[in-house]
Structure 1
Amino acid sequence: MLKNYPSSSFYDEMVAESSKVRPHYEKFYRILQKLADDELLEKHETAQLSFLRQGITFTVYHEDGGTERTMPFDFIPIIIPAEDWEKIETGIKQRVKALNYFLEDIYNEKKILKDGVVPRDLIENNQYYYEQQAGGLNLPHRNHIYLAGIDLIRDGNGVYRVLEDNLRNPSGLSYVFQNRFVMRKVFPEFFLEHDIRTLEHQFSHLYQALLNHVPANSLSPDNPTAVLLTPGMYNSAYYDHVFLAQQMGIEMVEGQDLLVKNDIVYMKTMRGLQRVDIIYRRIDDDFLDPEEFRDDSALGVPGLMEACRKDNAVVVNGVGNGVADDKAVYAYVPEMIRYYLGEDPLIPNVDTYFLSDKASREDVLSRLEELVVKNVGASGGYDMLIGPQSTPEQIEIFKEKILENPAQYIAQPTIQLSRAPAFQQERFYPCHVDLRVFAVGCDHIHVLPGGLSRVALKEGSLVVNSSQGGGGKDTWVLREGAENNA
């Protein structure tokens, strides 16, 4: 496997210097070495077919419409020792807690703005700040973040850093479970000798946290009705919606299945109208309620926000969460942690340059070929420049974009994104990876063990998003002491 594996300056999750396997991968590597080439290829193909047969797909949108694809899967897992995971878990809880305090603050007292810790203009002029709709809402437990997806990377020194916060509708949770299911089915030999933290019973945490968001005027606070609101089957994450609703045992509905009557939300059923207390929405804010957002939305529910104001229903994740996961606001999260918690951040950010600042802009424009530039309102790897991999023409286009609208873009150093071996095209080669960690919140924050390891399967690429050709890996968190038994 490692005979032709190239060394580089990138941190490798599995391979250390001199092509030596890291201690927590030794057992996995030993088992892998016993598998013949044709057996590996057969297992690899079986894994891909398993995703296809189960309909585990996502949709990639382009000019001609949408194309449904299966998530490419790589069987070499990302293995995280117990000691490393403990640091990640504690750091994620700290970050999500501070972000929730921030959302509660800016939609109510605005102390952090009055104290000048976060620039007022950055929030009040933000496209995702909905003060009129979300301001003053009486949220259960004052909790805005039911489910967060925090993207982590490792730099050249192996240090974990937060790349991005996803607090609106983080997707990919279904793939965490399906990656594990396929791994266990196709490669059972790996699980016999590894002590891995299980994903079983994780949906009980998700379900219970959801039911804890009971509105104040619910008629059945001990047995509330929760639904998942989806835009429909043409949404790129529709499989995610179906899977989560099924696993939690809640109804999945579209906007046309709900109605608001006397400021109360009802679900249309064969037996008549049924009152709904909690709506786990997978619809963007702009389409949620045509009476308060886009009046041309056919996806939302007219009157939904008024029902929330009257404490008859609750929408999770909270309306207006996008202001806290904005790529420009991201740079202030370390200060939020210090301000609200009185602690230093346990997981650092990636350095970020604001292009609305003239000095920073001039510096960035002079060395675009070294940096990564992102549109603060885009996601999924779109409208992004990776300087070292770009042509002079692409760099020139981004120069014009930045000069035209500097506040719309931020720049970051090209991180030495860690890599891991992948088995694709009948061979092993290194691919860059990141990790999306999911945290479920209400009275307390629960972090799911592992997460979605995303891999840039295109050789040399730094873009891990599935919409840009990325795939997934299973993520193993070893139990305490397990890595010492290799």
Structure 2
Amino acid sequence: MSHTGLTEADIPADLFARYNPGGFFCELTHPRPDDGDVPALLRRRLSHIGLEALRSRAEAAETELIDLGITFTVYSESTAIDRILPFDCIPRILTPSEWKHIEAGAIQRVAAINAFLGDIYGDAKIVKDGVVPGDLVFQNPCFRPEMIGFPIRHGSYVNVCGIDIVRDEAGTFRILEDNARTPSGVSYVVENRHLMLRAFPDLAAGMRLRPVDDYGYRLRAALEEMAPVPDPEARAVLLSPGIYNSAYFEHVFLAREMGIPLVQGSDLHVENARVYMRTTAGPRPVHAIYRRLNDDFLDPTVFRPDSMLGVPGLIDAWRAGNVAIANAVGTGVADDKAIYAYMPRVIRYYLGEDPILPNVETNICREKEALAYTLDHLDKLVVKPVGESGGYGITVGPRASRAELEAARAALLADPANWISQGMIPLSVGPTLTDDGIAPRHVDLRPFVVTGRDSWVLPGGLTRVALRRDSLIVNSSQGGGSKDTWVLADQPGRALAN
């Protein structure tokens, strides 16, 4: 027995004794000057709990997700309708300086996106000045001619934007993708925090963390700022395609968090270019709509005439200035993967600033030289279709089979304009609870930017984790999970209380 009175059996095993990030930047173990000793304390607390107890509590937490109905739908799998998004109990930590950098870069990005959309649906000066090719804009399937000259309050076409950010081996944050249409996943940011506090209170105890609970309030405030009537009088609703949508849980969650009705197209009607909600007490006017269905289905009198999900006459009511719709129609042009490659130029053109968060270097295969380079280096590049999301259609060259590379080559030659390629970024890793203990798994980050008159960024965002060993695909539909994202509060002295 030692002089402390503890036996060797009383001292918890260090769960990180064999942890090896393998040369990747680690989001927990890499030293950062303003981390407030939080990572070291978190490692000690995890070791004190022990591996078996962590696994038991993690299983109970996933059972709770099922009981709460926190699920998403994978349509591509006939045998799997609803799934939970697997939750990893080891949080990802962002220091105050890291968060300030991400926050500033995200706000800058959204400002440039909104300026770009206002321009291409106006005078299209950026095209006339040769900064962005016209065919990438006007032949883009997401470009909506109906939006030309359309008045958008505050110039805020994108009221909710999810920006996918990765960190490379040098620790540099880079933007991988913009999501300017109907970005999903914010419900998991809030629920992951709630789940962490319920299932692992001893990990979070005393930590000074930036809160995530006011997202609903912020989004509702932005909607009211967009509405054509004074804020206190604005009545907002969340328009959902219904229970069969993959993100329906999130629609229910957000409507509750915002304190607004959750409606489907059949619950609304337009009369004299004004939108009304059907209620048991009679029709009630609607001034702002947070829509979670795609452009094509929004109004059958303007877009798909066979849509049963939208509201006939909705676009006319919007054009008349009697309702606001968030996000605006036609925002998909801005998050197209081909336009993505031009975003550094777009930022400089509209804002006169260098990008705070750089892009991943991108080759646009519609361009002859870029196509030739991609074909010559196919086994070293990641090839992506410009119009897909969710991780579908991607070929990771260094990890692809010969047959997969040949299939990618054929697709590139058949339709070069549909593809981009990027160098394979060695994504940062975070310690993750696996069957083999605590092991590194690749992660990304999706901060959510809410914009009305001004922009606000939800502290932290969604950290997605590739649960499969060596996988770089973090998308939930491709086997990814998520972590709670801890943004440390910027306070003098220690960033935690023991």
1:469 aligns with 2:479: yes
**Corresponding position of 1:188:** 201
Q: Structure 1's 23 and 361: CA in aligned 2 closer, same or farther, altered over 3 A? A: farther
AA in 1 matched with 2:298:
L
2:488 aligns with one of 469, 478, 484 = 478
The gaps in structure 1 that reach 5 residues or longer are none
> Which range moves more in the overlay, 55-64 or 415-424?
55-64
AA in 1 matched with 2:391:
G
**Corresponding position of 2:140:** 126
Whole-Å Cα distance in 1 between the matches of residues 51 and 371 of structure 2? 51
The gaps in structure 2 that reach 5 residues or longer are 1-14
1:233 aligns with 2:233: no
Q: Structure 1's 65 and 40: CA in aligned 2 closer, same or farther, altered over 3 A? A: closer
**Corresponding position of 1:136:** 149
Find the residue that maps to 1:415 and give its secondary structure.
coil
Is the contact made by 2:433 and 2:439 (CA closer than 8 Å) also made in structure 1? yes
CA deviation profile, 1:63-113 (whole Å, cap 9, x unmatched): 637620011000111101101111111111111111111111111121111
Is the contact made by 2:107 and 2:457 (CA closer than 8 Å) also made in structure 1? yes
Whole-Å Cα distance in 2 between the matches of residues 264 and 231 of structure 1? 21
Q: Structure 1's 195 and 63: CA in aligned 2 closer, same or farther, altered over 3 A? A: closer
1:46 aligns with one of 23, 35, 60 = 60
Whole-Å Cα distance in 1 between the matches of residues 68 and 435 of structure 2? 23
Q: Structure 1's 31 and 64: CA in aligned 2 closer, same or farther, altered over 3 A? A: closer
1:460 aligns with 2:474: no
Is the contact made by 2:21 and 2:440 (CA closer than 8 Å) also made in structure 1? no
AA in 1 matched with 2:199:
V
Whole-Å Cα distance in 2 between the matches of residues 180 and 345 of structure 1? 31
Aligned sequence identity (%): 46
Whole-Å Cα distance in 2 between the matches of residues 239 and 39 of structure 1? 29
Could you tell me how far 1:479 is from its partner in structure 2? 1.2
Whole-Å Cα distance in 2 between the matches of residues 480 and 287 of structure 1? 44
Could you tell me how far 1:37 is from its partner in structure 2? 2.7
Q: Structure 1's 417 and 483: CA in aligned 2 closer, same or farther, altered over 3 A? A: farther
1:256 aligns with 2:270: no
AA in 2 matched with 1:178:
E
Q: Structure 1's 221 and 453: CA in aligned 2 closer, same or farther, altered over 3 A? A: closer
1:351 aligns with one of 361, 374, 391 = 361
1:93 aligns with 2:116: no
1:415 aligns with one of 417, 421, 425 = 425
1:360 aligns with 2:370: yes
1:3 aligns with one of 17, 23, 31 = 17
> Which range moves more in the overlay, 25-34 or 167-176?
25-34
Could you tell me how far 1:222 is from its partner in structure 2? 3.7
Could you tell me how far 1:38 is from its partner in structure 2? 2.5
1:158 aligns with one of 158, 171, 174 = 171
Whole-Å Cα distance in 2 between the matches of residues 22 and 202 of structure 1? 26
Is the contact made by 1:450 and 1:476 (CA closer than 8 Å) also made in structure 2? yes
Count of aligned positions: 479
Could you tell me how far 1:429 is from its partner in structure 2? 1.1
1:145 aligns with 2:158: yes
Is the contact made by 2:181 and 2:327 (CA closer than 8 Å) also made in structure 1? yes
CA deviation profile, 1:163-202 (whole Å, cap 9, x unmatched): 0100100000100000000000011112223211112333
Whole-Å Cα distance in 2 between the matches of residues 330 and 485 of structure 1? 37
1:299 aligns with 2:309: yes
Q: Structure 1's 161 and 482: CA in aligned 2 closer, same or farther, altered over 3 A? A: farther
Could you tell me how far 1:4 is from its partner in structure 2? 2.7
Find the residue that maps to 2:342 and give its secondary structure.
helix
Q: Structure 1's 40 and 482: CA in aligned 2 closer, same or farther, altered over 3 A? A: farther
Is the contact made by 2:51 and 2:437 (CA closer than 8 Å) also made in structure 1? no
**Corresponding position of 1:15:** 29
Whole-Å Cα distance in 1 between the matches of residues 333 and 420 of structure 2? 15
AA in 2 matched with 1:134:
M
CA deviation profile, 1:212-255 (whole Å, cap 9, x unmatched): 1112xx5x664111111111111111111110001101111111
Is the contact made by 1:41 and 1:426 (CA closer than 8 Å) also made in structure 2? no
1:176 aligns with 2:189: yes
